[in-house]
Amino acid sequence: QIYSRLLGTGSALPERVLTNADLEKFVDTSDEWIRERTGIRQRHVAAEGETTGDLSTLAAQRALEAAGVKASELDLIVLGTTTPDIIFPSTACLVQHRLGANGCAAFDVNAACSGFVYALGIADKFIRSGHSKKVLVIGAETLTRMINWEERETAVLFGDGAGAVVLEASSEPGIYATCLHADGGHKELLYNPVGVSVGFKDAPNHGVVIRMSGREVFKVAVKTLDSLVEETLAAAGMEASQLDWLIPHQANLRIIEATAKRLNMSMDQVIVTVDKHANTSAGSVPLALDYAVRSGKVKRGQNLLLEAFGGGFTWASALLRY
């Protein structure tokens, strides 16, 4: 049996930090409201001209270094993002060239906040099928580019950042199971209304904005994640008691707490970065994973459950031994 083993992780955040107090100065909100409703205290915001590809390249270089793998050894790059630098070439191709990995397959996956876990699931299939031996998986986003800073419903929620992992084909576990799902029936609850065919107009940011019905998304997210974690455990043939860490998508601390409760896990077993990073969409899970590894929390041999829920709706999970 071939497994995908996680060799190394890396991440990158823009230097600029915007605290809740900074936001209070130009949006009708308060530090207290943001902390109580979401758990967010600050977010990193990309500088003028700083792109998803820039953050991805940095995160990838750090992951390759941690893994002891040269870019030229890669035979696949999968990048989860909903904020590509340009529409095409894909950000994966832009990053591939900057890393010096030209020639290997490279493509983007757009599954909004589930983008990284989707990319990980796809990479795992390439490895299990024998197609790929060494794979770079990236989740990266500059979602603040879509924010209307005057709309408090969304302005306080998002941040920018990237995370990456290097996977290798191995006879030892490895990723035990991945689950990927989508339901396109709820588009209007969470979306960006502008694309090449519709929506561009003479408006702030050309009409590009995040539209979200927060309360509805919250409800669907909690319910969906409950069944997702059950499905993932069953697919891996495991009990919740065998999990060492939950590494969830970092959108809202209350959603994270609900999932931990469902799994009977204490919050000491949950990696939380939403306070420092806010919701970095596809960047959030690999950023949290890299933080968990580099801080020494997650150790070799431990079982990790990764999960995410986002626009689409999409939802996805991976259960793996680090």
Residues annotated catalytic, as ranges? 113, 249, 279
* Minimum distance, C-beta of residue 258 to ligand ACO, in the bound complex (Å): 11
| Residue 158 three-state SS | strand
* Residue closer to ligand ACO (CB basis): 101 or 318: 318
* Minimum distance, C-beta of residue 8 to ligand ACO, in the bound complex (Å): 27
CA distance 245 to 74: 28
Inter-residue long-range contacts of 296-301, CB under 8 Å, 24+ positions, other chains counted: 297/245, 297/271, 298/244, 298/245, 298/247, 298/271, 298/322
CA distance 118 to 111: 7
* Minimum distance, C-beta of residue 279 to ligand ACO, in the bound complex (Å): 6
Give the residue among 93, 98, 94, 101 at the shortest CA–CA distance from 69.
Answer: 101
Q: Which residue has the tokens 């799902």?
A: 181
Please classify residue 310 by burial: count the beta carbons closer than 10 Å to its beta carbon, then call 0-12 exposed, 13-18 middle and 19+ buried.
Answer: buried
Tokens standing for residue 267 = 């919050």
* Residue closer to ligand ACO (CB basis): 60 or 156: 156
Give the DSSP H or E segment for 204: none
* Residue closer to ligand ACO (CB basis): 215 or 300: 215
Is 232 within 8 Å of 307 (Cβ atoms)?
yes
Is 140 within 8 Å of 109 (Cβ atoms)?
no
* Residue closer to ligand ACO (CB basis): 10 or 310: 310
* Minimum distance, C-beta of residue 75 to ligand ACO, in the bound complex (Å): 30
* Residue closer to ligand ACO (CB basis): 8 or 159: 159
* Minimum distance, C-beta of residue 274 to ligand ACO, in the bound complex (Å): 10
The contact set with ligand ACO (CB under 6 A) reads: 29, 33, 37-38, 112-113, 152-153, 156, 190, 214-215, 217-218, 221, 251-252, 255, 279, 281, 310-311
